[in-house]
Amino acid sequence: MESTLRVNTPGAAGMPNSADNALNKASTSAHAAVNSIAGAAKPAIERVAGMAHEAVDSAAGAAAPAAQWLAQQGESLNAAQKKLVSDTCSYVSANPLKSVGIAAVVGFLVSRMLR
């Protein structure tokens, strides 16, 4: 039986390396499992192996947009966190006494809620 390794995942272009690598690694291991199961070179097994390869490629193609969306959401949350920290630092610099007062009141309230 001819052993082919397919790593083309439709829709995977433009994904961050970690998501792309994880998807390719999963697809490669699934293809390897299909190849090891279809060890005997019988036409029926080759046909089933081909269908299994197509199913793995289809699943990888469906997972690629979801992985890309998750990566974009992570980047968006990271940008929002950096903006919040920057805005907070600017506020504390502009209003140091007010910031200490707010922190003291919040600390007091949190300690009361935890009792």
115 residues of the chain, pLDDT tens digit each: 445 544 454 444 555 577 778 888 888 888 887 777 765 556 777 787 888 888 888 888 888 888 888 888 988 999 999 999 999 999 999 999 999 999 999 999 999 999 8
- Please state whether 10 falls in left (phi above 0), alpha (psi between -120 and 50) or beta: beta
Residue 83: its H or E element: helix 43-94
Task: Note the pTM of the prediction, 2 decimals.
Answer: 0.41
Question: What is the 8-class DSSP label of residue 40?
Answer: S
Are residues 6 and 24 in contact, defined by beta-carbon separation less than 8 angstroms?
no
What does the pLDDT read at residue 9?
47
> Rounded to a whole number, what is the largest CA-CA distance in the chain?
81
Which residues, other chains included, contact 6 with Cβ-Cβ below 8 Å and sequence gap of 6+?
A: 27, 31, 53, 57
